[in-house]
Structure 1
Amino acid sequence: MSQPISADLVGLATDPVDVSWSEKDVMLYALAVGAKPDQELDFVYEARGPKVLPTFAVIPGLNVMGSVMAQVQFNLAMLLHGEQKIT
């Protein structure tokens, strides 16, 4: 079972998307992915940082998906996320 990709989508442009986050967002993300306060205090306590986990970099990009999905007819159940790279 596959979903065809329309050739009309090649070069699809979106409007710019403003993204922001707070220390609270960074700390909640760290807790959500398993940071333990007794072992990774710098990631979850504002008085010690907070440090930001490198994988947090993919989170702001998720906001862009909303603007893309508004323009594309796509069944999310058919989506396979194959790779993402942080550089």
Structure 2
Amino acid sequence: MIAPKEGVLVLLNARKLRSSRDVALTLVHAFVHVDQLNRKGSRALRIRHLQHEFHVQALHPSQVREFARLLKEEEAEAQHLEGRLVDQMQRAA
């Protein structure tokens, strides 16, 4: 979640995290998204999309499609990295 002053707020539903691996997977996934959010232009793009969603300033349909494509790519990246990084951390421990 975008927070004020260039911050990011990560919320977890602790009741659904049943094991230390669940916690690790969730945190790694969330922090991949934090990294993505801090990429150049990402924050501004998300704010523009939110403004579109709340009917403050409309985006062109091609911009909406491009944003949806970007979100799919970022989610795929987070899913790919979560298991890989958690496995590496557990082997190193």
TM-score > 0.5, shorter chain as reference: no
Higher RCO, Cα 8 Å, sep 6+: 2
Higher helix share: 2
TM-score by length of 1: 0.31
Pair member with larger Rg: 1
TM-score by length of 2: 0.30
Higher strand share: 2
